Amino acid sequence: MTRCPSQRAQRFAFCATTLLATAAWTDIAIAAPSPHGHRKPLTPKDRQVPAQPASRLEEITVTAERRQADPQKIGTSLSIISARELAARNVNDVFDLQYLTPSLQMTPQFGSGQPDFELRGVGHHDYGSSNVSPVGIYINEVSNPVTWATNGLIFDVSRVEVLRGPQGTLYRRNTTAGTINFVVNQPTDSFHAGADVQFGAFSATKYDGYLSGPVARGVKMRLAGESQQGGAWQYDDQGAHLGNVNRTALRWLTDLRLSDTLKAQIDLHGSIDRSDAAGLHLFSPLTTIAATNPGGPVLPQDHDRDITHWGTSTAFAKLIGVTPDQKPYHHIDTGGANIRLDQSLPFATLTNLASYNVADRHEYDNFDGTSLNVADVAFRSRANVFQNELRLVSRGDHRLNWIAGIYYANEYLADQYFSGFLDSYHVMQGVFYSEKVNTLSGFGQATYRIRSNLSLTGGLRVEHEARDLHNFRAYSFAPDGNVLNPSNAIAKRSLVYTLPSWKVQLQYTPTRDDMLYASVSRGINSGGFTTYNTSNAHAASAPYQPEKLLAYEIGNKLDIPEAHLRLNVAAFYYDYHDQQVQSAVVNAQTGLIGAIVNAPRSHLAGGEFEIDWSPLDGLTLRQSGSWAIGQFDRFNAVYSAEKVGNSYQAVYQNRRGVALPAPKLTFNGSATYRWRMGRYDASLGINYSLRTIYYSLFGPMYNVAGYTLWGLTASIAPRKGWWSFNAFGNNIFDRQYDVTRNFFLSGDNIALAGMPATWGLRFAAKY
């Protein structure tokens, strides 16, 4: 085996070249000279061998690269989750996707409605409303940059495409971690209708339905919706339950054929969420009150993960407009419209996709896990996002295929964030601000087929973004609601950048069933402002810079139709610059202040694999896994604040070599057997998801222990019939585990428990 050079760039280039070269010998055997002088693959007739047998594995066409393609021919790490699998596993929101695909981690920050998405360990640990996620979320090709508005219902979805690695040369927005694309079902050429009714544990119910078909000449429509209720599984020591879901969403698609070459689609959508919030439990005694109030009580830890507590002071309840015994809640409403025009030209398709979406959040969370006002929070947020993308995509499959586009976005966020600390620090605090973001970028990517089985791809994006923070106020309130520090405000902060991102990729197909690729790409994630801290407006609102990620990736996608086997593997190395990290800064007057800062240098390395195998007719085995490990290479972080005289000074800690927060190993697997029972088709399946320990940046006490979850699925339906009956069980062994651990105040150590064992029965009918 050849030993690679030690230098990182040389090592990647040499290994990539070696990998492609060692497979090149097969090209001689499978290609013959064409009349034009270049080689072309031999057909089965040329080889005098039988035609390739049909595979028993599911074949799915994707649009991850803005054109329909076989995912096995796309040179990037890509996972596809079909509608059948989403339904069988009872995937209700983005959180559930992590148990079906490798390298994906999703954590509700402090149990709030602000999720943190991570792919390959690249994430953004921040519960602030202005969080800029490094993972892009797309629904019907429209991105959703408002992170707290992404965790709604998943309904009437054809498939989910998860792309790992920096994106930007093909997509509306720049990301460092990857994208999750929700591809929705489209209007049909003939009339179809369907409905699902589901009942499950903890009195959970779910109802789905759709109508689809032509309504006039050149006009097709699809109306789909879902409603979900119940499911409260947490409780307090008084017997009250928490965790009921109350969500309803609708989507109305209209396809218009305006001429032989021009078509349009109008997408109207909206959702209403009146759900309970998640409750937290104390995984160690709460000492915050005793530490700040000598002689104060120390509250015991919770030994039952299903238990939680809520409640607040009369003063804080009045400040945020609730009652003192109000259950925590996440109330998020969304709505919007997308208008898409596709004009067919002789050489390309010109597409303009415009969208306007709004989201409104009222949220109240208990971050201390008690009925006292130690650390309670509330959010009042409203966001408006206008986006427009104009792109030109070459038509057909030619030696040179390309895409070019311009993207513009205007975002507005008005946010209020309240914290109640009356029983701990005898104060209530609030942050008020608005933020405006204007983004303009040009992007393009081209693939040139050097030979019939060798192609080179290059892409470039240049992005200009101006982000302005307006009228940022960080107030402290007395128990009567009066503002104690009205001057703690700043009129405006700005962050402006113009940065390039790019991609270079070599793709080689030694045989029609095997593809190898090697790529180098650069991704950018927007900078921003720390908007959750309430101590000092000037120090807390200081901007953090965009993070840059240089990604080296190599992979292989292999199909063996004779064995009904598909194997995809990938390895990567990420070179981080200015990684955005939740840390702290020190203000001379107030001391330690939580803030997002940039770590100058860090790195990540790892890999993943996906295997689909059908060893017997009707039996499908799926296994995926990922490995990721990283550390800081240069980062002097604030460790504490030391008072010297009348001012505070920062105490720094060199964090070189400290591990980045990510589970080192994750595995997901399933086995499904389908068979015929007379006039019926039946299936039975088992699945599992395993993840190892999640290392926290805040020390071993906040590491999240690894866990394994097991599930079962079953279904029966008449062959070519109009109904089906399905059943599922998740976490069937009732594994007790946490999905996140953190502390909001010193001595307030809280955790969010994962779901206990659940089950459900679903009846579906279609026409």
Domain spans in the chain, listed from the N-terminal domain onward = 52-766
Residue type present at position 122: V
Task: Check if the beta carbon of residue 175 is closer than 8 Å to that of residue 165.
Answer: no
C-alpha to C-alpha distance for 447 and 457, rounded to whole angstroms: 4
Q: According to the model, what pLDDT value does residue 93 have?
A: 80
For residue 534, name the pLDDT band (cuts at 50, 70, 90).
low
Strands 234-235 and 135-139: unpaired
Q: Could you report how far apart the first and last alpha carbons of the chain are, in Å?
A: 59
Q: What is the pLDDT of residues 108-135, one digit of tens each?
A: 887 777 888 889 989 877 788 888 889 9
C-alpha to C-alpha distance for 128 and 530, rounded to whole angstroms: 7
Give the 3-state DSSP-derived string for 100-145, with helices as H, strands as E and coil as C: CCCCEEEEEHHHCCCEEEEECCECCCCCCCCCCCCEEEEECCEECC
Give the rounded percent of residues in the chain with a pLDDT score beyond 90. 68
Task: Check if the beta carbon of residue 374 is closer than 8 Å to that of residue 747.
Answer: no
C-alpha to C-alpha distance for 429 and 446, rounded to whole angstroms: 52
Q: According to the model, what pLDDT value does residue 645 have?
A: 82
Please, where are the H alpha helices in 524-638? Answer: 537-540
- On the question of pLDDT at 23 being above 60, the answer is no
Residue 459, Cβ density class (10 Å: 0-12 exposed, 13-18 middle, ≥19 buried)? buried
C-alpha to C-alpha distance for 393 and 348, rounded to whole angstroms: 5
**Under DSSP, is residue 328 helix (H, G, I), strand (E, B) or coil?**
coil
C-alpha to C-alpha distance for 766 and 448, rounded to whole angstroms: 45
- Which of 643, 620, 608 shows the shortest CA–CA distance to 88? 620
Q: What is the mean pLDDT of the chain?
A: 88
The sign one gets for the Cα dihedral 83, 89, 91, 96 is negative
Q: In what helix (H) or strand (E) does residue 25 lie, and over which residues does it extend?
A: helix 25-30
C-alpha to C-alpha distance for 163 and 520, rounded to whole angstroms: 15
State in words which class domain 52-766 has: mainly beta
Q: In what helix (H) or strand (E) does residue 46 lie, and over which residues does it extend?
A: helix 44-47
C-alpha to C-alpha distance for 761 and 201, rounded to whole angstroms: 9
- What does each C-alpha distance from 631 to 122, 591, 601, 715, 725 come to in angstroms? 12, 28, 9, 45, 48
Sequence-separated (6 or more) residues with CB below 8 Å from residue 159: 60, 62, 80, 81, 82, 83, 183
For residue 14, name the pLDDT band (cuts at 50, 70, 90).
very low
For residue 65, name the pLDDT band (cuts at 50, 70, 90).
low
C-alpha to C-alpha distance for 257 and 290, rounded to whole angstroms: 70
- On the question of pLDDT at 601 being above 90, the answer is yes
- On the question of pLDDT at 693 being above 70, the answer is yes
Q: What is the pLDDT of residues 333-344, one digit of tens each?
A: 999 999 999 999
Quote the tokens at residue 686.
Answer: 């088992």
**Least confident among 46-55, 240-249, 626-635:** 46-55
Q: In what helix (H) or strand (E) does residue 83 lie, and over which residues does it extend?
A: helix 83-88
Quote the tokens at residue 329.
Answer: 């809640």
**Under DSSP, is residue 674 helix (H, G, I), strand (E, B) or coil?**
strand
What does residue 633 show for φ and ψ, rounded to 5 degrees? -100, -30
Tally: H helices and E strands in the chain = 7, 40
What does residue 260 show for φ and ψ, rounded to 5 degrees? -65, -25
- Which of 748, 722, 572 shows the shortest CA–CA distance to 192? 722
Q: How far is CA 491 from the centre of its chain?
A: 33
Buried residues in 143-162 as b, exposed as e (16+ CB within 10 A) = bbbbbbbbbbbbbbbebbbb
Q: According to the model, what pLDDT value does residue 539 have?
A: 67
C-alpha to C-alpha distance for 222 and 117, rounded to whole angstroms: 30
- Averaged pLDDT, 14-25: 38
Q: In what helix (H) or strand (E) does residue 223 lie, and over which residues does it extend?
A: strand 219-230
C-alpha to C-alpha distance for 97 and 80, rounded to whole angstroms: 11
Task: Check if the beta carbon of residue 457 is closer than 8 Å to that of residue 445.
Answer: yes
Q: According to the model, what pLDDT value does residue 185 have?
A: 96
- On the question of pLDDT at 746 being above 70, the answer is yes
- Which of 700, 759, 767, 713 shows the shortest CA–CA distance to 284? 700
